[in-house]
Amino acid sequence: MSVRLLGSALASSLFALIVNAPTASAAEPRGSESSDVLELDWQAPAGCPGMSSVRAEVLRLARVETKPRSPLRARAAIRRYEGTWQLALSTELDGLSGERALTASSCRALADAAALTLALILNPDAEEPAPEPLTETLPLELRVALGARAGLEHGQRGELGASFAAGAGLALGAMSLWGYAGFTPPDEMRLDGASGPGGRVWSASVTMLGCWELTRRTPLGPCAGAELTRLQGTGISVKNPETAVAYWASGVLGLRAGVRLGDTFTLRLEGFALVPAQRPSLFLEGLGAIVRPDPVGAKLQAGADLEF
């Protein structure tokens, strides 16, 4: 009889302890109130940090100890524009709203900046984390481009004349490699004045250039390379007109500038000096040379590039 009473008393005591003791599910974990602290609308391209990781970083930095009267409502939108990343951030807390615009070289950097900004709004005493050492290099984007040029050249045929070129290039970061095919329209060159014997001359060229852009938004930088020129002439106002061809190579050094109109279209202005390795002549037999390249030639061109 006493044993049964003792067993009943123990069972009643254990039941009371179980009913009255706080359960593990009644105490929420520290990060479970994120919806009560921060309401985040996060829009970013693929490859950028996601909304959950950004929210977690905000709460980690803010270290909010007490629940605010109203949650921080934030809307963030990231886009890429003209080689940079841009963030538009709008916030509202306790009836106060604000807007911020941030720019960075990577989406990750913008996400970190957004997380720190939101953390400081939630807790002005939050400490900015020390920058971590760079452990990886961001991949460079390989771009393909097409270009067209028109302008003036002097020295290739001895006189000022029009020139045209079209080409294609590969760009990797600030560096680019271009190949152009050029053409100068036929022109008549006389030995003496506007009449008399001479030649009808035209030229074609192939140019390879390596260029470096010092700035991305307003491209400006040097170019260097080589050009192979083919000059052809046919005698005019002579008894037995013949056709002759000359070839030579030149070193090319110059400067180009540009203005970007969007992410893919760039207006260009370029100036180059050309130094021929050889200076062959086209001449009329018995009369003399009608054309020979100058020791230093020049080109001034304008045009546009289209990137893909």
All domains of the chain in start order, with CATH: 31-122 (3.30.160.100), 142-307 (2.40.160.70)
Task: Write down the pLDDT at residue 130.
Answer: 54
Binning pLDDT at 50, 70 and 90, where does residue 140 land?
low
Dist CA 252 CA 250 (whole Å): 6
Is residue 135 pLDDT above 50, yes or no? Answer: no
Dist CA 153 CA 271 (whole Å): 10
pLDDT (tens digit per residue) in 62-88: 887 667 678 889 999 999 887 789 999
pLDDT (tens digit per residue) in 37-46: 889 999 998 8
Binning pLDDT at 50, 70 and 90, where does residue 284 land?
low
- pTM score over 0.85: no
Residue 179 tokens, joined: 């190949």
Amino acid, single-letter form, for residue 236: I
Dist CA 254 CA 248 (whole Å): 19
Is residue 59 pLDDT above 90, yes or no? Answer: no
Task: Write down the pLDDT at residue 23.
Answer: 37
pLDDT (tens digit per residue) in 91-132: 998 888 889 998 988 899 999 999 999 888 888 877 665 555
